[in-house]
A = this chain, B = another copy of it.
């Protein structure tokens, strides 16, 4: 069991998202949909991964919020279908950029509140925050570049 390379891949995707702080099942769902290449219903997903309907629902919605999955209401069935976007990783990085930007703001705000007795600490923390902001800029720039590359290679 589990020697099937496809099973292995799905499992692996689970570990991957787990490393990123996301639920293991989120990665497995993405892996499964990546393999299938076509929309799949919640029922199919929960069946294929031997996972509860509740978990499939929650994780799919979470992934859809992040832009990694799209809802694809199949005509003729009232069941919601999901499928992986063409380039999931791209959207993952875009999400990271957003998180970094929010983070930069939060840290800057925190530093602003430091008393003057800690002026040096404030400077260090501000520099730290600046890095997150610049990183966010760069990530965004890069995501755009990658999108162009994809478009060109079509």
Q: Which residues of B contact A34 (CB under 8 A)?
A: 121, 124-125, 128
The main secondary structure of chain A at its interface with chain B is helix
- Give the size of the chain A interface in residues (CB under 8 angstroms): 44
**Contact of A103 with B by CB under 8 A:** yes
Q: Which residues of B contact A6 (CB under 8 A)?
A: 114, 118, 121
For A88, give the chain B residue with the smallest CB separation: B128
Partner-binding segment picked from A44-52, A59-67, A134-142: A134-142
Q: How far is the CB of A64 from chain B (nearest CB, A)?
A: 18
Q: Which residues of B contact A113 (CB under 8 A)?
A: 5, 8
Alpha-carbon distance A18/B118, docked complex (angstroms): 26
Q: Is the CB of A37 within 8 A of B124?
A: yes
